[in-house]
Amino acid sequence: MSYDREKQVAMEAAILAAKLCQQVRQDIPEAIEKHDKSPVTVADYGSQAIICKALRETFPNDPIVGEEDATELRKPEMADTLNKMLGYVQNIIPDATADQVTDWIDRGNGSVSPRYWTLDPIDGTKGFLRQDQYAVALALIEDGDIKVGVLACPAMPVEGSEPGMLYIAVRGEGAQMRPLAGGELQTIHVVSPDDRENMRFVESVEAAHGDQSRQNAMAQAVGITTPSVRVDSQAKYGIVASGKAALYLRLPSPKYPDYRENIWDHAAGAIVVEEAGGKVTDMHGQPLNFADGQKMMNNRGVVVSNGVLHEKIIDVLKS
């Protein structure tokens, strides 16, 4: 079965959502208070609205499992946030109304089904606020198998161009990337074992998102001796898929031993790495489960690799 239409619609929607997010971020004042999360709230809602609208128009029968819903946004005390978000959406969809936008957002309240989309409108909210990495992540899943994945990473460095990279994968067709600013799609592949410069590992910036001391020990156990590169969001998947790192570890934090991962935090990135020749499992070597619910209840931790290192890491974790 061809997924050309799904790929094209997902790419176009993610690019527009990334454009909105960048507009919001450019308007964040330098002296913003650390507790003020309003810019990321505006961008989160706006991104989800744009993507859900695009998917509804082209694939009206497909549920969308998104991170946000508009219940809070409809409250009177959120009127200022709603109006700000509407203004950014109208920069892209000029005739959008507040009622339409909240309805589009609520299209993301779908359930995991035999065929569905999963969306993280801004993955890496803290990175977004500190002018660092974040991603718009969208994936199509059928019968628990990811078929299409798109990652828009607006802050990813691009050689010879303005920042912003788009990563795309379709099951069985390989992975590609191109600058968000435009250009030709180029095939990407995970790092080879003889590329010592890129035999690095990436992990989350936030210590609470993993077990950083154990992650470093695991990387060293398989021969990676350089310090980790800490990056927010699913941009880490793009870095591994494009051969700029060999490993991404997200092991359970000792502070939150019962935490389970959300499907939208991994689906798009997972297929990009897999189609680039890498491997993605939980820490026990089991495939990530996208078939049963929003939380991957039967998986613990996430291991992403260039494939060559994967069994070594799983064996070390088991020992």
Give the pair of three-digit tokens for residue 277.
């020749």
- The catalytic position among 41, 102, 118, 125 is 125
Q: Is 123 a catalytic residue?
A: no
Q: What DSSP string describes 217-258?
A: HHHHHTT--SPPEE--STHHHHHHHTTS-SEEEEPPPTT-TT
44 flagged as catalytic: yes
The catalytic residue among 44, 106, 120, 265 is 44
Q: Which amino acid is at 171?
A: R
Residues catalogued as catalytic:
44, 125
